[in-house]
Amino acid sequence: MVKNKRIFRTLYDQVAAKAGAMLQYFSAQGVTIAATLLYGLLCVRLLPSSEYAKFVVLFGVQGTLLVLMDVNFSGTLIPLVGDRIDNRQLIADYVASLRQLSYWAFGIVGTGTIFFYPLLVKHRNWNWQVVASMIVILLISTWFVRIGSAYGAVLILLRRRALWYRATMISNVGTLVLLVLFWRLHLLGPFTAILLNVLGLVYVGIDYYWHARKLLGVVGIPTPQLKRAIVGLALPNIPQAIFYALQGQISLFLITFFGHTQGVSSVGALARLGQIFVIFKQGNALFIEPYFAKLPKSRLRSSYTITLLLTAAICLAVMQMTYFFPQVLLWVLGPQYSNLRFEVQLAVAASSISFFSSVMWCIHTARKFVYWWNVGLSIGLTLAVQILFIFKADMSTVRGVLWLTVATNVTSLFINILSGAYGFIKGPRETEEKPVMVPESVVESEAYMDLYPLEDGSVPLESVPRKSES
């Protein structure tokens, strides 16, 4: 009887902890995402379409740059650390190794931005001062978002979600208040809206950096082996990440290059509706990936099935709402976009497919269902679909680029389904499992002996000298 009470109490505590975490997430992130949605929708309604197009293009390109700068390196932190979250030195070393890799990526991506961005917007008739300012803003904001991504992963890994929530809430609510203030003072323009958004991104990056460093309490030491482990796990996804970074915004790029300014602003306005899924997508990194990374193999199939069924229910509910009540979303966008009834339905359908696919990809990454074989297949199929649409559809129209987005997302979902099936049959891909080595330069006479677990959780037979850091 006593044993049964203990079991019941343990189960109750686990359920209560998970329910508390979910309640905290949806309350805190509900406010944050509501502020983000309202900020974007106010920009849609308050800015003329010709001015809103600048906002759309800049942040669309920023999304591509973020993927190119990271190529899933930050996403390797949680799977590589696994259940070794008490080893703060190991986490700090991984973060330091990530930082070194990001320097190279930023140099390459920044140089490419300076060269290619003017070519992308050459038909928009923006003067060189505007284009140059947008490039500077892109480089600064991208760097701080990259910092936030790496150090935000540390907060999630150390289960300090409250700090993660607080920074984004302060940022998003604060920028919304400032936006309304500038509007009331009749000072709102495209660059005001852009700079306020960037201010929020900079704040989040600095906040995550400061709290993560304080929580770790040690100085990380980048090592060649840790960088190899990061690259080794991310490597199969790197070609695909680069490809999807370039084509993930292909609808916007095509209509920016071939279409008219009203089309650019319409695609951007419709993309705001896709943020319906943001609160759920952020839950991927906060809950789904850490949960599946340490889930026992015996419970994987049932948890995988339940998670995908819940995701499908959310997607279908949102699509049904949009199908029967598109006028609600059109009213939200404002009178400039009142004729986009069918386009609204297409945009939400594309976002639903993308969200479902992102949940699958997040689980597969956590379980190391990452393989080389699907990279070529994914790129080949996606290119085939996009080339077909580019030649057969009118890419200067909003409807044409939205159909392209739907087809591309369906292709991505198909590849994820194949990867999941292969992962369950063949198992996860093996990664480097050698003990972590330390450069001789950090070994001193007062160094203490520390044991770093291997990737499979075991401990090497010989101690590794480590320099104590405070």
pLDDT in tens, 192-244: 888 898 899 899 989 998 998 888 888 888 888 888 888 877 777 677 677 76
pLDDT at 414: 92
Domain enclosing residue 119, as ranges = 7-224
| Same domain for 252 and 293 | yes
End of a domain among 171, 204, 224? Answer: 224
Domain end residue (candidates: 169, 198, 224):
224
166 in the same domain as 240: no
Distance CA 265, CA 255 (A): 10
Q: Is 419 exposed, middle or buried (0-12, 13-18, 19+ CB in 10 A)?
A: buried
Same domain? 257 vs 175: no
Does a structural domain hold residue 174? yes
Say whether both 215 and 246 belong to one domain: no
**Based on the domain organization, do 151 and 294 belong to the same domain?**
no
DSSP annotation of 284 reads I
128 contact partners, CB below 8 Å, separation of at least 6: 118
Q: Tell me, yes or no, whether 358 and 279 share the same domain.
A: yes
34 and 136 share one domain: yes
**Both 92 and 71 in a single domain?**
yes
Q: Which amino acid is at 42?
A: L
What domain count does the chain have? 2
| Domain co-membership, 146 together with 187 | yes
Same domain, 219 and 241: no
- Within a 10 A sphere around the Cβ of 306, how many other Cβ atoms? 10
In a domain? residue 255: yes
pTM over 0.85: no
Which among 61, 191, 197 has a CA at the least distance from the CA of 138?
Answer: 61
**Are 210 and 286 in a shared domain?**
no
Q: How confident is the model at residue 141 (pLDDT cuts 50, 70, 90)?
A: confident
Whole-angstrom distance, CA of residue 302 vs CA of residue 299: 6
Q: Domain ends where: 224, 250, 284?
A: 224
Give the model's pLDDT for residue 129: 87
Over range 117-122, report the average pLDDT.
82
Q: Mean of the pLDDT values across residues 157-178?
A: 86
> 124-133, 262-271, 370-379, 438-447: which range is least confident on average?
438-447
CA distance 186 to 59: 23
What is the predicted pLDDT for the residue at 27? 67
